[in-house]
Amino acid sequence: MRLLPGILAMGAIVLASNILVQFLAGPWLTWGAFTYPFAFLVTDLTNRLYGAQAARRVVLAGFAVGLACSAVGTQIMGEFGPLVTTRIALGSALAFLTAQMVDVAVFDRLRAGAWWRAPLLSSLVGSALDTALFFTIAFSAALSVLEPGNDVGWANETLPLLGLGPMAPLWVSLAVADFGVKLALAMIALAPFRLFLRHRHPEVA
């Protein structure tokens, strides 16, 4: 029962992110980019309070919710086909599980250091993995073999990076913008991480 709040929070974040990813928050981002990074906060708090094994259980609960969302999304048809393609479902699942499990491992290795080091560095490493895996698997033309019937030509259109930089496929701009949000929220999340520990468990804060 002690893990129930973490499991519910992780499930809610994954569910909300799967819904909000369908809505744009500008030319390079969806609203899901602003909710998903808080999954790392839930994982790190669980890890700090109850240990790595407990954090892995919370991650697996979130993974199950993500799989369920993807399964539903593949059955809902939008204007251009299923709301969730096979590549997006695969990329989302592999990115989430890999990034969160690496986050747990990095946090556990750094838990004895300064209070901010473990949550910040584990979230940054996990976020980098999550972004690289998801966008590459879901949109890179080099991996079209994963789902030959899915046209990802739109994501591989060559444009200035973030509208300003060197020429790059559109999906690279989407990935860079997404990672930028994750970086910002990883630092912002240090405040609620510290406050929660001080309030609930001052002996570990």
What is the pLDDT, as a whole number, of residue 203? 57
Q: Is residue 174 included in any domain, yes or no?
A: yes
String of b and e for 44-63 (b: at least 16 CB within 10 Å)?
A: bbbbbbeebebbbebbebbb
Q: Is residue 81 included in any domain, yes or no?
A: yes
What is the pLDDT, as a whole number, of residue 79? 66
Q: Is residue 205 included in any domain, yes or no?
A: no
- Can you tell me the distance from the alpha carbon of 85 to that of 171, in angstroms, rounded to the nearest whole number? 16
Note the pTM of the prediction, 2 decimals.
Answer: 0.93
Domain carrying residue 24: 4-142+150-200
Please report, in tens digits, the pLDDT of each residue of the chain (205 residues total). Answer: 789 999 999 999 999 998 898 788 989 999 999 999 999 999 999 999 999 999 999 999 999 999 999 989 888 776 666 778 899 999 999 999 999 999 999 999 999 989 999 999 999 999 999 999 999 999 999 999 999 988 999 999 999 999 999 999 999 999 999 999 999 999 999 999 999 888 776 655 5
Q: Is residue 79 included in any domain, yes or no?
A: yes
Domain count, the chain: 1
Which amino acid is located at 130 in the chain?
D
Q: Is residue 70 included in any domain, yes or no?
A: yes
- Can you tell me the distance from the alpha carbon of 132 to that of 73, in angstroms, rounded to the nearest whole number? 22
Q: Is residue 38 included in any domain, yes or no?
A: yes
Alpha helix segments (H runs only) across 74-116 = 86-110
- Tokens standing for residue 176: 């860079």
Return the axis-axis angle of helices 52-73 and 86-110, rounded to nearest 10°: 170
Q: Is residue 14 included in any domain, yes or no?
A: yes
| CATH value at residue 74 | 1.10.1760
What is the pLDDT, as a whole number, of residue 153? 93
Q: Is residue 64 included in any domain, yes or no?
A: yes
